[in-house]
Amino acid sequence: MDGTLVPWDQATVHVLVHGLHYGTGAFEGIRAYETDRGTAVFRLTEHMERLVRGCKALGIPLEWSADDLVKAGKETLSVNELRSGYIRPIVFYGTGSMGLNPVGASVHTVIASWEWGAYLGEDGIENGIRVAVSSWRRIDQNSLMPNAKGTGGYVNSVLAKQEALRGGYDEALMLNTDGYIAEGSGENLFLVRDGVVHSPPVAAGVLDGLTRHTVMTLLQEDGIEIRESVLTRSDLYYAEELFFTGTAAEVTPIREVDDRPVGSGRPGPVTRRAQQLYMDAVTGKLGAHSEWLEYI
């Protein structure tokens, strides 16, 4: 917390922090994996760079550089004696201003790490999840920046996630305000049709996911055609395969969308290939792209 190691139960903030009242913060989600050469954090620097960019976009003065955050992130894993796990950095306005204008409020930077298994469940990774198109639209580019990973924007994701769970589904899929496919509450979407892999462009109002980029790179290098495409709801129903990507969700197959089976209702070959390439990359078994692994 703000440059000092603090035990879990003392890592507290005041009830009047600006970030709590107005959602004025930005965060990241990062995973570390065990490899043959020890613990490696996957694309750690790029995650921290995205946080620095997010703070800039939201106008939050961050006193730390991406390099500082990289060092601190690694340190939290070491002191928590985690060989694999999840790292959550967050930057937010503290106390000092109770009005909307945050000038005068302190800025806090916190990095926590803990063990975290499959975000959408082991069964989800293995057999695929059930997804429904949400009644909530993904927050518009001109209302908030989906790409900045601002804390307040996640109220949109929480509403969609809760609605999906209450309806008996595992995850929500949000359309943007133009009615085109955007993303899950915390994952990017991929669609396979006629052997071509499609994902909505960032301009559709989605987070520029690092897992999305990783999977696109690996599948392309594997000889599969990748396109960024504006996708409609019927594209979902016609898809041979659908899957989600995200640091927490990794590569999670979607077996059903709006109560319609996706393809055969079992994870398809491109999804399986994406899962395998991704897991090989994060655990150092791929050989290529060792630049993505940042060892402790």
Binding site for ligand PMP (CB under 6 A): 29, 157, 183, 186-188, 207, 209-212, 245-247
| 197: enclosing H helix or E strand | strand 196-199
Q: How many CA atoms lie within 13 A of 209 on its CB side?
A: 28
Q: What minimum distance in Å lies between the beta carbon of 84 and ligand PMP?
A: 16
- Distance, in Å, from the CA atom of 1 to the CA atom of 12, rounded to the nearest integer, reads 9
Residue closer to ligand PMP (CB basis): 208 or 266: 208
Q: What minimum distance in Å lies between the beta carbon of 170 and ligand PMP?
A: 16
* Catalytic option among 56, 71, 74, 149: 149
Non-local (6+) Cβ contacts of 63 within 8 A are 107, 109
Q: What minimum distance in Å lies between the beta carbon of 174 and ligand PMP?
A: 9
DSSP string, 138-169: PPPTTTS-GGGTBTTTHHHHHHHHHHHHHTT-
Residue closer to ligand PMP (CB basis): 176 or 245: 245
Residue closer to ligand PMP (CB basis): 105 or 210: 210
Residue closer to ligand PMP (CB basis): 97 or 247: 247
- Distance, in Å, from the CA atom of 73 to the CA atom of 255, rounded to the nearest integer, reads 35
- Distance, in Å, from the CA atom of 208 to the CA atom of 223, rounded to the nearest integer, reads 22
Do 107 and 92 form a contact (C-beta atoms < 8 A)?
yes
- Distance, in Å, from the CA atom of 66 to the CA atom of 58, rounded to the nearest integer, reads 16
Q: What minimum distance in Å lies between the beta carbon of 187 and ligand PMP?
A: 5
Torsion of the alpha carbons at 158, 159, 165 and 166, rounded to the nearest 10: 150
* Residue 149 is among the residues annotated as catalytic for this protein: yes
Residue closer to ligand PMP (CB basis): 94 or 136: 136
Nearest to 15 by CA among 118, 101, 98: 98
Within the chain, residue ranges assigned H as helices are 18-22, 44-58, 66-79, 122-127, 154-166, 210-221, 233-238, 269-282
Q: What minimum distance in Å lies between the beta carbon of 185 and ligand PMP?
A: 7
Would you name the residues annotated as active-site residues? 149
